[in-house]
Structure 1
Amino acid sequence: MLALSAKGILPRVDYAIFADTGWEPRAVYTHLDRLEREIAEPAGIPVLRVTSGNIRKDALDPDHRFASMPLYILNQDGKPGMTRRQCTGEYKIKPIKKKVRELLGFPYPARIPRGTFVEQWVGISTDEFHRAKDSDVQYMLNRHPLIDMGWSRSDCIRYLTSLGLADTPKSSCLGCPFHGNAQWRSIRDASPDEWADVVEFDAAIRKGNARANATGKRLLGEAFLHRSRVPLDQAPIDHVTAAEWAALQQELDDEAGLEELEDGVIDGCSPWACRGEVEPIQDDFGLAT
């Protein structure tokens, strides 16, 4: 959408906003720098980077309230579970709304007058039209230009390729539990230092988040980044055996499941269309019951 606006195919936007969780892959930050330099700046479109903190550091800080990630849980009785997903709201939606209020001239807790709003473009394509939703606040009016243009994900890829941006990476936390095996392998094989980082984090959250443990709410089970619920450096990211696949059938549909296991859910980690729209089996990042 930024490129379409900068090239005059869509109307010129006033701002582009990137919500930074503080733990994106290096390739995402490199790509964002390039977009800003080659696309946004020549068109006079400011790219605003907003943040609520570093999600990795916050998870391991016993003094910090942590908005939980959707971690895979293995309960004491052997049953699988999942922690509640709060990270999108805290690290993406919250800082965007804060910045929008500032741009309107009504920072929190000021009341925004009725009829004062921004038109916010959300990059949902026709493949995922069911995710197109109205805003939950009156000062943001959601629009979906890609759907209005009838563009699918393939159309977006073709357009990006025509601009020399075929290598556009997915934006999501480096240690997002919704990565597929292909993404885990890519991190491991292409960026050893980032792989070491996520393996270390995976081990660090095994018994829950640091603040929960510090306050006596120890996880009664074990938490993992990979859906196999084994340590990430031991997870079957290269090949899934028949036995492992059979064990995963509780969670996955037969045909879609194998593709999801390999590629992850295709939807990007957008603030307004997070790939992790799942119902938690495990209610919180504290006690597993």
Structure 2
Amino acid sequence: MLCLSADGTLPKIDIAVFADTGWEPKKVYEHLDRLEREIAAPAGIPVVRVSSGNIRNDALDPNHRFASMPLYILNQDGKQGMTRRQWTGEYKIKPIKKKIREILGYPYPSRVPKGVFVEQWVGISTDEFHRAKDSGVQYMHNAHPLIDIAWSRADCIRYLERLGLADTPKSSCLGCPFHGNAQWRNIRDTSPSEWADVVEFDAAIRQGNARANATGNPLLGQAYLHRSRVPLSEAPIDHVTAAEWAALRQETGTPDAEDPETGVVDGCSPWACRGELPEPVRDDFGLAV
């Protein structure tokens, strides 16, 4: 959407906001720098980076309040579940809303007058139209330009290729539990330091976040980053899931695609988090429900 705005296909935006969780892959930060330098700056579009902290460090800090991340849980009775997903709101939506209020001239706790709002673009393509939703506040009206111009994910990929941006990485936390096996493999095979980082984090959160344990609320079960609910270093990430096959078929348009290396199709948007999956939900400290 930034590129489409910069080249005049879409109206020129006033500002682009990137919510930084502090734990994106190195390639994402490098790509953002390139977009700012080669696309946004020449078009006169400022790029603002906002943050609520470092999600990895906060999870392991016993003195820091931590918004729950969607970890895969193996309960003591063998039942499976997931912890509640709160980190999208805390580390992406919250800092964006804070910045928007500042832009409007009504920083918290000032009340934003009725009728004062920004139009916020959310990058959802026609493949995911069902994820389009409102912002939840009156001073931010979500719009979905890619849906308005009837662009699919394939259209976006072809456009980026024409711009020389075919290597655009997927934006999501390095240790996001919703990575597909292909994404885990990519980290392992291309960035040993980042792989060591996520393996270490996976082991560190086995009993839940540090704050809960420090306050006498240990996790009733064990937590994992991988859906197999085994340590990430041992997880069957070389297995190609049905979802990954479906993702590849969608990208290439070929039902008999043979290359399984695409991973999860979409990136991670604040208003379209992949956390909304049909997985059993559990309390922070209780059994799966």
TM-score norm. by structure 2 comes to: 0.91
Per-residue deviation at 1:279?
A: 5.5
CA distance in 2, matches of 1:22, 1:195: 16
Match in the other structure for 2:267: 268
Q: Report the secondary structure of 2:196's partner residue.
A: helix
Match in the other structure for 1:132: 132
2:24 touches 2:171 (CA, 8 Å); kept in 1? Answer: yes
259 and 228 in structure 1: CA distance in 2 versus 1, 3 angstrom threshold:
farther
CA distance in 2, matches of 1:181, 1:68: 23
Q: Deviations over 1:103-145 (max 9, x none)?
A: 0000011011111100111111111111112221110111111
Q: Report the secondary structure of 2:31's partner residue.
A: helix
262 and 208 in structure 1: CA distance in 2 versus 1, 3 angstrom threshold:
farther
1:170-209 equivalence runs, <5 A: 170-209=170-209
- Alignment gaps of 5+ in structure 1: 246-254
193 and 3 in structure 1: CA distance in 2 versus 1, 3 angstrom threshold:
same
CA distance in 2, matches of 1:60, 1:26: 21
CA distance in 1, matches of 2:67, 2:82: 14
Q: Quick check: 128-137 or 108-117, which moved more?
A: 128-137
1:10-29 equivalence runs, <5 A: 10-29=10-29
Per-residue deviation at 1:288?
A: 4.0
Q: Which amino acid aligns with 2:103?
A: L
CA distance in 1, matches of 2:286, 2:262: 31
Per-residue deviation at 1:220?
A: 1.4
1:74-223 equivalence runs, <5 A: 74-223=74-223
CA distance in 2, matches of 1:16, 1:263: 27
2:62 touches 2:214 (CA, 8 Å); kept in 1? Answer: yes
282 and 215 in structure 1: CA distance in 2 versus 1, 3 angstrom threshold:
farther
31 and 118 in structure 1: CA distance in 2 versus 1, 3 angstrom threshold:
same
Q: Which amino acid aligns with 1:267?
A: D
Identity of aligned residues (%): 78
Match in the other structure for 1:47: 47
Per-residue deviation at 1:266?
A: 2.5
2:119 touches 2:143 (CA, 8 Å); kept in 1? Answer: yes
1:267 touches 1:274 (CA, 8 Å); kept in 2? Answer: no
224 and 53 in structure 1: CA distance in 2 versus 1, 3 angstrom threshold:
same
Per-residue deviation at 1:267?
A: 2.8
TM-score norm. by structure 1 comes to: 0.91
- Alignment gaps of 5+ in structure 2: 248-259
2:170 touches 2:266 (CA, 8 Å); kept in 1? Answer: no
Q: Deviations over 1:172-191 (max 9, x none)?
A: 00000000110001000100
Q: Deviations over 1:45-104 (max 9, x none)?
A: 000000000000000001111111110001111111111111111100000000000000
Alpha-carbon RMSD? 1.8
Per-residue deviation at 1:239?
A: 3.0
1:177 touches 1:226 (CA, 8 Å); kept in 2? Answer: yes
Q: Deviations over 1:184-214 (max 9, x none)?
A: 0100010000000000000000011101101
257 and 48 in structure 1: CA distance in 2 versus 1, 3 angstrom threshold:
closer
